[in-house]
Amino acid sequence: MSEHYTLHVNGADHEVRDAWLGENLLYVLRERLGFLAAKGACEQGECGSCSVLLDGRLVCSCLVLAASAVGQPIVTVEGLGDGDRLTDVQQAFVDAGAVQCGFCTPGLIMAAHDLLDRHAEPSEMQIREELSGNVCRCTGYGRIIDAVQRVAVARRSAL
């Protein structure tokens, strides 16, 4: 593979030029393509702040070799909403006060969307287990769980 490759991020192709091929996806998203939502903290897959969807799977972008992700759809928080409109999960995080410093929030938003897409009625234990890869040092998680439950209830009553 040449040192130019193309990543498909949030529905559009983005060319990565003159990059070292050992770079992880988080670095390429932030430093080369300007997608700043995913955050880098541990760079070893423990904190979840860099969570993105890769080919429909929630993964830590710091553990993805960017050059190996060619041809696979990548979704970051920037690709979730419709322009400036918040998703139901983002709005619930605001309403429930699930955001304090905000550093972990993009990863949690990705994980919460992924969880709610697979479980329409998650129990509290299920939410805790599903979000166990996302570390938050501010909230104590209570309001994050509340936000996820609000979305689950709202989605069910909208059916």
Interface residues toward other proteins, by CB under 8 A? 1, 20-22, 24, 43-46, 48, 51, 57-60, 62-65, 67-68, 70, 111, 114, 129-130, 132-134
Shorter beta-carbon distance to other proteins: residue 48 or 146? 48
Q: How far is the CB of 141 from other proteins (least distance, A)?
A: 12
Q: Which is nearer to other proteins, 44 or 157 (CB)?
A: 44
Report the nearest approach of other proteins to the CB of residue 155 (Å): 20
Give which of 86, 22, 76 is closest to 49, Cα–Cα: 76
Per-residue DSSP letter, 84 = T
What would the two tokens of residue 83 be?
A: 């322009």
8 A C-beta contact, residue 41 and residue 103? yes
Beta carbon of residue 158, minimum distance to other proteins (angstroms, whole number): 26
Chain center to CA of 58: 7
Residue closer to other proteins (CB basis): 71 or 97: 71
- Smallest gap, in angstroms, from Cβ of residue 83 to other proteins? 27
> E strands, the chain, where?
5-9, 12-16, 51-54, 57-60, 73-75
Q: Count other Cβ atoms within 10 Å, centred on residue 121.
A: 11
Comparing CB distances to other proteins, the nearer of 63 and 153 is: 63
